Chain A
Amino acid sequence: MSAQDYRSSNYEYVTARVRSRRSKLFDDDDYRKLVRMGTSEIARFMEESEYEAEMNRLGSRHSGVDLVEYALNENLAGHFDDLLRWADGRLYDYVARYLRKFDVWNVKTVLRGLYSGADRAAVEADLIDAGEFSEDELEALLDADSVEAVVAALDRTVFGDPLEAALADYEGSGLLVPLENALDRTFYESLIAGLPDEPGRATSLYIEFLRAEIDFRNLRNALRIARSGADMDPSEYFIEGGRLFDEQELRQLVTDESQLVEHIRESTYGDDLDDALGTLAEAESLIEFEHALDAALLEYADTLSNRYPLSVCPILSFVLAKEREVDNIRAIARGREAGLAPEEIREELVIS
């Protein structure tokens, strides 16, 4: 870390605030209580927690599970806007790049909405205004009435070219997967691209964190392909920049699941993923493994943020943890609404 970076970024301030917020996230006990509650009780529980302001604001317009969901989204967007407001200098750049993830989320939401024929209001409510797109751009996305129109609306953004390339694939197969993967790939590749050539310590930590995330994403894709036995070219879904596989290795490994698992066990993440690999061997479906993977990524992020307290890691770790919390509560609320048993819901949660 050069003196210049250190002066322009305010790691101390942001990490102090982030750690404080991190400690206010729901813990194991809260989840245990939540999975046993009915939807109205969940809403009341949230009104007494840090979601109070959002719950009260949205309370007049929505109710039940929808209220919970919109309050979650709004709270998430609020937190991440705060992060950008606090951060200065290089740190701001890192956080902003990472939060572009929500642009991807928004585009995906719009695409899925179109694909499933959801109405505009429903899609709009699910957007999270935390990324780089302005409100006008989001409006333009919402106004699009076909998948092609969405791709056209994104023409000038970083996602334009890759999406156009994936469009043919979509039209051929009728599946959204090529488009979604194109989005993910662009996002991850633009995260690392354009960083200073000679990374300082701050930058190298940032890269290390992202590498882990890319590796986990590749791993998930590889396993999905291996499990489904689909005849797809894995390199099409491969994201550059990780250190777990390169393209060649991946192509070989997806044909044989046991070999793939062996490769992971011997990698740097072997220890972190030990539990996850255990569940993979037992589990019938991939869902459990994917949750274990998410939990392992959270844990890895925590390890990094404890090891390097004054860096971008605690902040990214908070972003991840917050996203997991929102996902968890949404899963609980939706699960209870659908009448799932507490044990079943618990399996859907990612708790580190």
Chain B
Amino acid sequence: MIDATTQLAAVALQQGAPALEPVAAAAIAVGLGALGTGIAQRSIGAAAVGAVAEDRDMLVPALIFTALPETLIIIAFVTIFVAQG
């Protein structure tokens, strides 16, 4: 138990090598960003399909609004370059 605690402390204090390489951390950031995008698009997509089903003219606005949460993942993508730089 105590052994594990000291190990955990070593990781938290980043003694030795860091627990996560910068690139790995960036990968997690991108992944979480993608997850957020997915959650947001789920609702918007459902509503968009409903709107288009009622009125074909809604197709373009529906596509725009469905694509809006993509900005989340694009911003998350930036972290890769920040982490590498």
Task: Point out residues on A near B: beta carbons under 8 Å.
Answer: 10, 12-17, 20-21, 86, 310
Judge whether A21 and B46 touch: CB under 8 Å.
no
Segment touching A, from B23-31, B48-56, B68-76: B48-56
* 17 extra interface residue pairs, beta carbon distance < 8 Å, beyond A14-B50, A17-B50, A17-B54: A12-B43, A12-B46, A12-B47, A13-B47, A15-B47, A16-B46, A16-B47, A16-B48, A17-B53, A20-B50, A20-B51, A20-B54, A20-B55, A20-B58, A21-B54, A86-B50, A310-B43
Name the residue of chain A whose CB is nearest to the CB of B55.
Answer: A20
Name the residue of chain B whose CB is nearest to the CB of A6.
Answer: B43
A16 to B51, CA, bound (A): 5
Judge whether B46 and A13 touch: CB under 8 Å.
yes
In the complex, what residues of A have CB within 8 A of residue B50's CB? 12-17, 20, 86
A60 to B72, CA, bound (A): 57
Name the residue of chain B whose CB is nearest to the CB of A21.
Answer: B54
Name the residue of chain A whose CB is nearest to the CB of B49.
Answer: A13
In the complex, what residues of B have CB within 8 A of residue A21's CB? 54
A20 to B58, CA, bound (A): 10
In the complex, what residues of B have CB within 8 A of residue A310's CB? 43
Question: How many whole Å from B53's CB to the nearest CB in chain A?
Answer: 6
Interface size of B by Cβ–Cβ distance < 8 Å?
12
In the complex, what residues of B have CB within 8 A of residue A20's CB? 50-51, 54-55, 58
Name the residue of chain A whose CB is nearest to the CB of B45.
Answer: A12
Judge whether A17 and B46 touch: CB under 8 Å.
no
- Please name 7 pairs of A and B residues whose Cβ atoms are closer than 8 Å in the assembled complex, sorted by A: A12-B43, A12-B44, A12-B46, A12-B47, A16-B49, A17-B54, A21-B54
A322 to B59, CA, bound (A): 25
A20 to B49, CA, bound (A): 12
Shortest 6 CB-CB contacts between residues of A and residues of B: A16-B50, A20-B54, A16-B47, A12-B46, A12-B47, A17-B50
In the complex, what residues of A have CB within 8 A of residue B58's CB? 20
Question: How many whole Å from A100's CB to the nearest CB in chain B?
Answer: 25
A21 to B50, CA, bound (A): 11
A12 to B80, CA, bound (A): 34
A12 to B66, CA, bound (A): 13
A21 to B43, CA, bound (A): 19
Judge whether A10 and B46 touch: CB under 8 Å.
yes
A310 to B51, CA, bound (A): 15
A15 to B46, CA, bound (A): 10
Name the residue of chain B whose CB is nearest to the CB of A17.
Answer: B50
Which of A10, A16, A21 has the most chain B CB atoms inside 10 A of its CB? A16
Question: How many whole Å from A30's CB to the nearest CB in chain B?
Answer: 18
A96 to B58, CA, bound (A): 29
A17 to B53, CA, bound (A): 7
A12 to B49, CA, bound (A): 10
A20 to B44, CA, bound (A): 15
In the complex, what residues of B have CB within 8 A of residue A86's CB? 50
In the complex, what residues of B have CB within 8 A of residue A16's CB? 46-51, 54
Question: How many whole Å from B8's CB to the nearest CB in chain A?
Answer: 31
A81 to B54, CA, bound (A): 15
In the complex, what residues of B have CB within 8 A of residue A12's CB? 43-44, 46-47, 50
A10 to B46, CA, bound (A): 8
In the complex, what residues of A have CB within 8 A of residue B49's CB? 13, 16
Question: How many whole Å from A51's CB to the nearest CB in chain B?
Answer: 16
A12 to B50, CA, bound (A): 8
A15 to B47, CA, bound (A): 7
In the complex, what residues of A have CB within 8 A of residue B48's CB? 16
A21 to B58, CA, bound (A): 13
